[in-house]
Amino acid sequence: MTPAVQLLAERKISFRLCEYDHDPANSNFGLEAANELGLDPDQVFKTLIVVAGGDEMCAIVPVSGQLSLKAFANAVGVKRVVMCPPERAQRATGYLVGGISPIAQRRSLVTVIDETAQLYDEVFVSGGRRGLDVAVGPDDLMVVTGGMFADIATR
């Protein structure tokens, strides 16, 4: 059981586990999850760690789109945002790249969820390891991550 799954269970948040066989040769983790689980890529969200004002922050965007660094900066009120180096992201979250869950990270990071998540009854995010996603309601995701919704993705 990953820290993400454990926290969801402890908080009695409704969720579903969705496991699939991860191909170690595939580095497009989010699209792999969507394809393997037979899901709409707009409903599967990737967790990206960025650095803003010197601090790590978390962006959750559909795997079908890209993170707009400018929109993220506007959402959190900073001038500049850059992608976090993988090793730093792993240290900040406690998860390996490709399995970084937005839930139960090592440190509580400022989290912004793309507003399109609100279009669905449930969204799929990493469950804390490669080959494991969790389906959770977008409002529950916002609460458990302490996040907020904003328009941060490009399609």
Q: Which domains does the chain have, with CATH numbers?
A: 3-154 (3.90.960.10)
pLDDT in the model for residue 141? 98
pLDDT in the model for residue 119? 98
Residue 113 pLDDT level (bands cut at 50, 70, 90): very high
Q: How far apart are CA 4 and CA 155, in angstroms?
A: 28
Check: CB of residue 101 under 8 Å from CB of residue 77: no
- H/E stretch holding 31: helix 29-37
pLDDT in the model for residue 39? 96
Check: CB of residue 44 under 8 Å from CB of residue 62: yes
Could you tell me which residues come within 8 angstroms of residue 74 by beta carbon, excluding any fewer than 6 positions away?
Answer: none
Query: 27 or 48, which is more confident?
Result: 48
- Match 């969705």 to its residue by tokens: 18
- Computed over every residue of the chain, the mean pLDDT equals 96
pLDDT in the model for residue 117? 98
pLDDT digits (tens, 9 = 90+) for 53-106: 899 999 999 999 999 999 999 999 999 999 999 999 999 999 999 999 999 999
pLDDT in the model for residue 28? 87
58 beta partners: 49, 111
